[in-house]
Amino acid sequence: MSAGPTILHADLDAFYASVEQLLEPGLRGRPVAVGGSARGGVVLAASYEAKAHGVQGGMPGWKAAQLCPGLIFVRGHFSRYQPIADDVMQILGEVTPAVQRISIDEAFLDVSGATHLFGPPGQIGALVRRRVRAEVGLAISVGAARTKHLAKIASQVAKPDGLIVVEPDDEQRFLDPLPVGLLWGVGPVTERRLSDLGIRTIGELRHTQRPVMERLLGRAAGAKLHSLAHNEDPRRVTTAVRARSVGAQSALGRVVATPELVRTVLSGLAERIAGRLRGKGSAGRTITVRVRFTAMRAVTRSHTLAQPISSTLTLTEIAETLAWRAIASGPGPGDGPSDGSGPPDPSGANAAAGADTVGRGVQITLLGISVSNLHAQQTIQLELPLPPPDPWRPGSATGAARWALDHSMDAVRERFGRGAVGYLPAALGGSPGVPDEFRELAERDL
Amino acid sequence: MKFRVERDVLADAVTWTARTLPTRPPVPVLAGVMLDADADGTLRLSTFDYEVSARASVPAEVSEPGTVLVLGRLLAEISRSLPNKPIDVHLEGNKVELRCGSARFTLLTMPTGEYPELPEMPEHQGSIDGGVFAEAINQVTIAAGRDETLPLLTGVRMEIEGDKLTLLATDRYRLAMRQVNWSPSSPSVEQVALVRARTLSDVARNMAGAGSVEISLAEGADIVGFEAGGRRTTSLLVDGEYPPVRRLFPDSTSTHTVTNTADLIEAAKRVSLVAERNTPIRLSFSEGQVVLEAGQGDDAQASEALESVLEGEEITTAFNPQYLLDGLGALGTEYVRLSLNHPTKPVLMTGQDELQGEDRSEEFRYLLVPIRFAG
């Protein structure tokens, strides 16, 4: 932990909606919703004017329209978001090289090495805000503190369009009156549990004994929250250049896991992940599938291949096998990553077998895939056709054919847009409401 | 037990017999080397780890015969570090004492009764000149797999048919085949075995200098034996059915190129300096020349053109630089012939002695699978 409030959290205000207002001056100062319509669909983001009426991202369009009469729905300029956010990050990078971008529109900065150039953290925060406003035209809120977690809380409190510096002496005085919901890891469920005990502010939480918290929330989560309430957060600002994994997930509501559904959802996820891997000349050896059941229980299953893959079809097949294995183990206890019973079989027989024998009638609420253990893969070393045939090996005859097909499809998409071509289950299924471009932005490696 | 032995003789013999000993053995005695001093004036050293056995016999002045088991690696290190003088060894209680010049070592002995019995040599099948055998082994083991999770491909298939001995190995990315003449004990002998590439490399390195190598193999036996110059080793064969790889060599090829081997090796080494790991070297063959290129993007690029004779269509293909150099280095001929059908199909590499002439494909063939680019 550094001596002064040298960790900054910079967060663009209502980013997507603000970009829309930036691009279309007629929208400025008016309530704007990106995505959805008054008749349906999902609101993906809302401007501050709309938020003032209670409109939130993830809300059905009709509900947003009800809450906020005069709400303007826009479709969203998805291709513009990334470059504009990149411009903002460029400005942050000119203040200090120690920038850790954590999503498209927010980043941590460690300015301990920049104070001799630009003055104390408060001045640096002000400089960043001034430059982003002048050069990009967007409002960015900044929090400065000794820890990441506190800096992030400070930027949330500073919103909209504000700056808060928490001096080391003021930390507890700043934290204590704030609602517990601002702490990292406190969602609606935890918030309700704490509130049942009369704990509503961080100060009240801080005065709760650690064992009580551990009993209430489980050992790890309880201890973690206890530390955060005491402003203990050893995490540093890390400027990781390379992503360690690429993943995507899809919330499904409550649905019965049928072979068609599982295949359609995984195929769509695999297409996005594999496309992103190929886009950056990368491939991964470890495939992990996450299945969430009702009551928030989740099971993950993973498999590590001998060679990294980036093929959409191969990723779909492996994910399908793993998903059925996870579904077969059910929502009971015994959660955790596991390789299950032996490696998945490329013949694909056991994916279907799994669907036939188990999983009938099981309800699931989420499917996710992530690919890790990443390696560079610009080319494919082809292989001699040695038995047994293994279509999952990139250099096999099938693997090479998939590689060629994927790259042809990538080229078509590059030219005619991502809807131009797709693998059948995903292309037909799609996910209603949320455009893939929007998901891409949220999932992209930064 | 008491004997005197020359320092170099003991150091060589114990180093060889102890070379396969495990550093952390499952049972302590398996870290040992057995010393057996015979009244007829020989010292026999032996080790066995249930996979590989090794026996060496060396002359010694034996005054009291006997058998002891001592730590093998330690004895090897000691004997290598001693001055070049005769070493006197004798058993004193449960300790072995070594004296050499003014140096004196004592080593605790281990119980010989717990040491596993070494396997018998299988049936003798014939012999081969050590130099020829070592060359053949080195030409083929380059292509053997190194991935221990795929044991089958870490083996070299040894096929004996009368006076022909053929070695084959592949790691999926290349396939090497070498055929040599040898002297079978019976002209009608036919045997097949899958020998670890490691075992063969060891034979090439440590036994082939001693004239002729005797090969022992038996139908249905699970070990192979080699003997040369007073050294014998046996090794467990690799289990499993080796894929029918001979049929992977193309029956016919449409494009043929002939290039000076040494020039191509030098150029490939230079150009591949800019090829990072897993990135290919590209070879473009056209009338009268081959252009080698490597490097992607702006970081670094290299290219070089060489004289080369082309018969057939112009063709461009790409390889893992190391796999290409492995094959070229194994040829041992003045010229290399590359026979191709298609940029993404395996290319056949053979050697030939003259620019215009026949290739020596009956002796050595190296099949190399290309790398494929995006798009």
pLDDT of residue A339: 41
Interface of A with B in 278-337 (CB under 8 A): 306
The answer to whether B146 contacts chain A (CB < 8 Å) is: no
Q: Rounded to whole angstroms, how far apart are CA atoms A300 and A327?
A: 9
The verdict on a CB contact (< 8 Å) between B374 and A387 is: no
Interface of B with A in 311-330 (CB under 8 A): 318, 320
Q: Say if residue B107 is in the same domain as residue B130.
A: no
The verdict on a CB contact (< 8 Å) between B278 and A376 is: yes
Q: Say if residue B290 is in the same domain as residue B273.
A: yes
Q: For the residues B300-322, what does the mean pLDDT come to? A: 94
Q: Say if residue B99 is in the same domain as residue B132.
A: no
- CB half-sphere exposure, A323, CA atoms < 13 A: 36
Which residues of chain A lie closer than 8 angstroms to B245, CB-CB?
A: 384, 386
Shortest CA distance from A278: residue in chain B: B374
Residue indicated by tokens 């207002």 = A21
pLDDT in tens, B155-178: 999 999 999 999 999 999 999 999
Chains A, B: CB contacts within 8 A come to 58
- Is residue A349's pLDDT more than 60? no
B68 in Cβ contact with B91 (< 8 Å):
yes
- Does the annotation count A383 as an active-site position? no
The alpha carbon dihedral of A369, A375, A378, A384 has a sign of negative
Q: For the residues A151-167, what does the mean pLDDT come to? A: 92
A273 in Cβ contact with A279 (< 8 Å):
no
The verdict on a CB contact (< 8 Å) between A381 and B279 is: no
Domain CATH number, residue B42: 3.10.150.10
The verdict on a CB contact (< 8 Å) between B245 and A400 is: no
Q: Rounded to whole angstroms, how far apart are CA atoms A32 and B245?
A: 67
- Residue B81 in domain: yes
Query: Which neighbouring-strand residues pair with B256?
Result: B311, B339
Which residues of chain B lie closer than 8 angstroms to A404, CB-CB?
A: 372
Tell me the nearest-neighbour CA distance from B26 into chain A, angstroms: 27
Which residues of chain B lie closer than 8 angstroms to A277, CB-CB?
A: none
pLDDT in tens, A350-391: 454 455 555 567 899 889 999 998 988 888 999 999 988 888
- Report long-range pairs for B362-366 (Cβ below 8 Å, ≥24 apart): B362/B179, B363/B178, B363/B179, B363/B180, B364/B139, B364/B176, B364/B177, B364/B178, B364/B179, B364/B330, B364/B331, B365/B175, B365/B176, B365/B177, B365/B249, B366/B143, B366/B174, B366/B175, B366/B176, B366/B177, B366/B327, B366/B330, B366/B331
Which residues of chain A lie closer than 8 angstroms to B175, CB-CB?
A: 384
The answer to whether A381 contacts chain B (CB < 8 Å) is: yes
Tell me the nearest-neighbour CA distance from A82 into chain B, angstroms: 24
Tell me the nearest-neighbour CA distance from B170 into chain A, angstroms: 9
Mean pLDDT for all residues in chain A = 84
Tell me the nearest-neighbour CA distance from B256 into chain A, angstroms: 21
The verdict on a CB contact (< 8 Å) between B147 and A306 is: yes
Q: Rounded to whole angstroms, how far apart are CA atoms B101 and B25?
A: 33
Q: Rounded to whole angstroms, how far apart are CA atoms A143 and A133?
A: 16
Residue of A380, A383, A403 with shortest CB distance to B172 = A383
Q: For the residues B120-134, what does the mean pLDDT come to? A: 94
B85 in Cβ contact with B7 (< 8 Å):
yes
- Is residue A280's pLDDT more than 70? yes
A204: tokens are: 């009240």
Q: Is the peptide bond before A160 cis (omega within 30 degrees of 0)?
A: yes
Range of the domain at B205: 124-246
What does DSSP say about strands A32-34 and A72-74: parallel, antiparallel, or unpaired?
Answer: parallel
Helix (H) or strand (E) holding A403: helix A397-416
Q: For the residues A253-275, what does the mean pLDDT come to? A: 90
Q: Say if residue B109 is in the same domain as residue B68.
A: yes
Q: Residue A181 carries which DSSP code? A: G
pLDDT of residue A340: 45
The answer to whether B341 contacts chain A (CB < 8 Å) is: no
ipTM, 2 decimals? 0.87
* Residue at a domain's end among B83, B114, B145: B114
CA dihedral A253, A254, A259, A261 (to 10 degrees): -30
- Residue B62 in domain: yes
3-state secondary structure of B345: coil
> Which residues make Cβ contacts (< 8 Å) with residue B262, sequence separation at least 6?
B334
B92: tokens are: 């004193």
Tell me the nearest-neighbour CA distance from B349 into chain A, angstroms: 15
Q: For the residues B293-305, what does the mean pLDDT come to? A: 83
Interface of A with B in 131-190 (CB under 8 A): none
Residue indicated by tokens 């299950």 = A340
Q: Rounded to whole angstroms, how far apart are CA atoms A396 and A248?
A: 27
Chain-centroid distance, C-alpha A92? 21
Q: Rounded to whole angstroms, how far apart are CA atoms B326 and B369?
A: 13
**Hey, how many other C-beta atoms are within 10 angstroms of the C-beta on A126?**
15
Q: Say if residue B297 is in the same domain as residue B214.
A: no
The verdict on a CB contact (< 8 Å) between B173 and A385 is: no
Q: Rounded to whole angstroms, how far apart are CA atoms B202 and B210?
A: 14
The verdict on a CB contact (< 8 Å) between B170 and A387 is: no
> Which amino acid is it at B327?
G
Which residues of chain B lie closer than 8 angstroms to A378, CB-CB?
A: 279, 296, 373-374
> Which residues make Cβ contacts (< 8 Å) with residue B115, sequence separation at least 6?
B29, B32, B34, B48, B69
- Is residue A335's pLDDT more than 50? no
Q: Choose which CATH entry (2.60.40.420, 3.30.1490.100, 3.30.1600.10, 3.40.50.2300) describes domain A245-443.
A: 3.30.1490.100
Chain-centroid distance, C-alpha A122? 29
Which residues of chain A lie closer than 8 angstroms to B318, CB-CB?
A: 379
Q: What does the domain layout of chain A look like in residue ranges?
A: 1-168, 176-229, 245-443
In which band, very low, low, confident or very high, does the pLDDT at A239 lie, cut at 50, 70 and 90?
Answer: low
- Residue B119 in domain: no
Q: Say if residue B73 is in the same domain as residue B185.
A: no
Chain-centroid distance, C-alpha B314? 37
Percent of residues, chain A, with pLDDT higher than 90: 34
Q: Which residue has the higher pLDDT, A59 or A336?
A: A59
- CB half-sphere exposure, A212, CA atoms < 13 A: 11
Q: Say if residue B93 is in the same domain as residue B54.
A: yes
The verdict on a CB contact (< 8 Å) between A384 and B375 is: no
pLDDT in tens, A7-29: 999 999 989 999 999 888 889 88
Shortest CA distance from A387: residue in chain B: B243
Q: Which residue has the higher pLDDT, A81 or B330?
A: B330
pLDDT in tens, B208-225: 887 899 999 988 889 999
B284 in Cβ contact with B310 (< 8 Å):
no
Domains: count for chain B: 3
pLDDT of residue A4: 87
Q: How far is CA A10 from CA A64, A141, A143, A151, A243, in A?
A: 28, 6, 7, 9, 21
The domain made up of A1-168 is a member of CATH 3.30.70.270: yes
pLDDT of residue B100: 94
The answer to whether A234 contacts chain B (CB < 8 Å) is: no
- Is residue A74's pLDDT more than 80? yes
How is A85-115 classified by DSSP, letter by letter? HHHHHHHHHHH-S-EEEEETTEEEEE-TTTH
Interface of A with B in 83-112 (CB under 8 A): none
- Residue B268 in domain: yes
In which band, very low, low, confident or very high, does the pLDDT at A336 lie, cut at 50, 70 and 90?
Answer: very low
pLDDT in tens, A177-212: 998 888 877 877 888 888 888 888 888 888 888 888
Tell me the nearest-neighbour CA distance from A354 into chain B, angstroms: 27
Residue of A379, A384, A407 with shortest CB distance to B172 = A384
- Is residue A248's pLDDT more than 80? yes
pLDDT in tens, A136-146: 889 999 999 99
pLDDT in tens, B242-294: 999 999 999 999 999 999 999 999 999 999 998 877 789 999 999 999 999 99
Helix (H) or strand (E) holding B184: strand B183-184
Q: Say if residue B221 is in the same domain as residue B241.
A: yes
Shortest CA distance from B372: residue in chain A: A380
Tell me the nearest-neighbour CA distance from B53 into chain A, angstroms: 32
A163: tokens are: 């700056």
Residue of A379, A384, A404 with shortest CB distance to B369 = A384
* Nearest partner of A147 among A130, A166, A132, judged by Cα: A166
pLDDT in tens, A401-443: 999 999 999 888 888 877 777 776 555 444 444 556 666 555 5
The answer to whether B295 contacts chain A (CB < 8 Å) is: no
pLDDT of residue A432: 47
Which residues of chain B lie closer than 8 angstroms to A387, CB-CB?
A: 243
Residue indicated by tokens 């995505």 = A35
The domain made up of A176-229 is a member of CATH 1.10.150.20: yes
| Pure H helices in chain B | 7-18, 72-81, 130-141, 197-206, 261-271, 321-331
Length of chain B: 375
A202: tokens are: 């961080």
Catalytic residue (choose from A20, A106, A317, A320) = A106
Q: Say if residue B154 is in the same domain as residue B213.
A: yes
Which residues of chain A lie closer than 8 angstroms to B278, CB-CB?
A: 376-377, 379, 381
**Hey, how many other C-beta atoms are within 10 angstroms of the C-beta on A112?**
17
Interface test with B, best of A282, A307, A382, A409 (most B CBs within 10 A): A382
pLDDT in tens, A287-327: 999 999 887 788 999 999 989 999 999 999 999 999 999 99
Query: Which neighbouring-strand residues pair with A256?
Result: A363
Shortest CA distance from A396: residue in chain B: B172
Residue indicated by tokens 């059941």 = A293
Tell me the nearest-neighbour CA distance from A39 into chain B, angstroms: 44
pLDDT of residue B80: 93
The verdict on a CB contact (< 8 Å) between B248 and A376 is: no
In which band, very low, low, confident or very high, does the pLDDT at B300 lie, cut at 50, 70 and 90?
Answer: confident
What does DSSP say about strands A140-145 and A163-165: parallel, antiparallel, or unpaired?
Answer: parallel
CA dihedral B65, B69, B74, B78 (to 10 degrees): -10
How is A331-390 classified by DSSP, letter by letter? SSS--S----SS---TT-HHHHHHHHHS-TT-EEEEEEEEEEEEEE-SEEE----PSSP-
pLDDT of residue A172: 87
* Residue at a domain's end among B201, B226, B246: B246
Interface of B with A in 230-259 (CB under 8 A): 243, 245, 248
Tell me the nearest-neighbour CA distance from A400 into chain B, angstroms: 8
3-state secondary structure of B93: coil
Q: Which residue has the higher pLDDT, B160 or A95?
A: B160
Which residues of chain B lie closer than 8 angstroms to A379, CB-CB?
A: 278-280, 318, 371-374
Q: Rounded to whole angstroms, how far apart are CA atoms B25 and B114?
A: 14
Q: Rounded to whole angstroms, how far apart are CA atoms A193 and A210?
A: 15
Q: Say if residue B233 is in the same domain as residue B261.
A: no
3-state secondary structure of B340: strand
The answer to whether A380 contacts chain B (CB < 8 Å) is: yes
Q: For the residues A48-64, what does the mean pLDDT come to? A: 88
Secondary structure string (H, E, C) spanning A57-86 = CCCEHHHHHHHCCCCEEECCCHHHHHHHHH
* Nearest partner of A435 among A17, A3, A84, A34, judged by Cα: A34
How is B94-163 classified by DSSP, letter by letter? TEEEEEETTEEEEEE-B-GGGSPPPPPP--EEEEEEHHHHHHHHHHHHTTS---TTSGGGGEEEEEEETT
Buried b (16+ CB within 10 A) or exposed e, A268-285: bbbbbbbbbbbebebbbb
Q: Say if residue B234 is in the same domain as residue B346.
A: no
Chain-centroid distance, C-alpha B145? 12
Q: Say if residue B132 is in the same domain as residue B242.
A: yes
Q: Which residue has the higher pLDDT, B111 or A337?
A: B111
